Amino acid sequence: MSSKIYDTIIVGAGISGLSAALYTARQRMSTLVLSKDLGGQLTLTDLIENYPAVEPIGGLSLAKKVETQAKRFGAEFIYGEEVQGIEERSDGVFVIKGIKGEYLGNTVILAFGKTPRELNVPGEKEFKGKGVSYCAICDAAFFKDKPLVVVGEGEPGLEAIELSSRYANPAYYVTSSPQLAGEEELVRKVINSPNVKIFTSSKVLEIRGNSKVEEVVIRKGNGEVLTLKADGIIIEMGYVLRTEFLKGFVELNDKGEVIVDELGRTSRPGIFAAGDITQTPYKQAIIAAAEGVKAALSAYNYLRSKKGLPPVNVDWKAEKKKVSFRL
């Protein structure tokens, strides 16, 4: 464990965590961002067309821009890290426990959004990143002229198989729904793709291979068990919150969302939250970004209050004098 105590540790480098990092770093707070990846859900869509003042932009490009801004002010990033626990020491310092190590922070901003839903079948965990993917937009192109299974439901599933069918051959679509439902044009495209083979009312039972995915075992609607030769499987089953490890640490609602007040403060002083992980019903990029900023400023003011300093209210009209943002 590094002995450095950061002013803030941000968990998640989606748009909310990145925006929070930009603001905390700019407030000269020492900032460490721990994240599984850069961009989060933004990377799962082709184009963001509703981010104010930004022309349609790829999600990853948008994330990279904010990352660059945050780094310019000194924010540090560790990727490939998955936080699995947080504890508060008796001196009020938070210990953030990841799979790679432990980190110390005087405040924490929880911004780890949502995570793809898993199938929970044998072989899935073992072959993650070795043919098991949760993102057609990110990974379909890796399967050019190769056999691929796509598992999905509804419109997102259809979009995933349509995209995958531009590369893979054959592209198997496995869905538990009895028929393909979604936008008519999309359904027609999928049904008419010569390289797409559709299995409705079907379920994946197992993913098999040696060092990488080689076969996917499914049970068809009529009960028949079939083994499909495939180099990969893309699972598009929606997204879930993974906040179990926060139970009892901060208040969660019955959906597992972190409850925050209007300033991004959780039930535990020093712990803030922003973006899709919170109870906000509007899960949108610009809202997540703004919530990240609110949480960042609240974390900043929390540290000021611990030092006996008055809070800085970022309300330019109300401030007569120029304020210093130094802690």
Ligand X SMILES: Cc1cc2nc3c(=O)[nH]c(=O)nc-3n(C[C@H](O)[C@H](O)[C@H](O)COP(=O)(O)OP(=O)(O)OC[C@H]3O[C@@H](n4cnc5c(N)ncnc54)[C@H](O)[C@@H]3O)c2cc1C
Residues at the interface with ligand X (CB under 6 A): 11-17, 34-37, 40-42, 44-45, 48, 50, 81-83, 111-115, 242, 275-276, 283-286, 288
State the nearest-atom distance from the C-beta of 56 to ligand X, in Å: 9
Task: Catalogue the E-assigned strands of 94-244.
Answer: 94-98, 102-105, 108-110, 115-116, 132-133, 148-152, 171-174, 196-199, 203-209, 213-219, 225-229, 232-236, 239-240
C-beta of 66 vs 228, nearer to ligand X: 66
State the nearest-atom distance from the C-beta of 95 to ligand X, in Å: 15
Contact 275, 12 (CB under 8 A): yes
C-beta of 97 vs 189, nearer to ligand X: 97
State the nearest-atom distance from the C-beta of 221 to ligand X, in Å: 28
State the nearest-atom distance from the C-beta of 146 to ligand X, in Å: 24
The Cα–Cα gap between 252 and 162 comes to: 37
Contact 107, 271 (CB under 8 A): yes
C-beta of 83 vs 250, nearer to ligand X: 83
Q: How far is CA 10 from the centre of its chain?
A: 13
Alpha helices for the chain (secondary structure H)? 15-26, 59-72, 136-139, 154-164, 184-192, 285-306
C-beta of 149 vs 289, nearer to ligand X: 289
C-beta of 15 vs 230, nearer to ligand X: 15
Q: How far is CA 7 from the centre of its chain?
A: 23
Q: How many CB atoms lie within 10 A of CB 144?
A: 11
C-beta of 199 vs 272, nearer to ligand X: 272
Q: Strands 83-88 and 94-98: what pairing? A: antiparallel
State the nearest-atom distance from the C-beta of 156 to ligand X, in Å: 7
State the nearest-atom distance from the C-beta of 316 to ligand X, in Å: 27
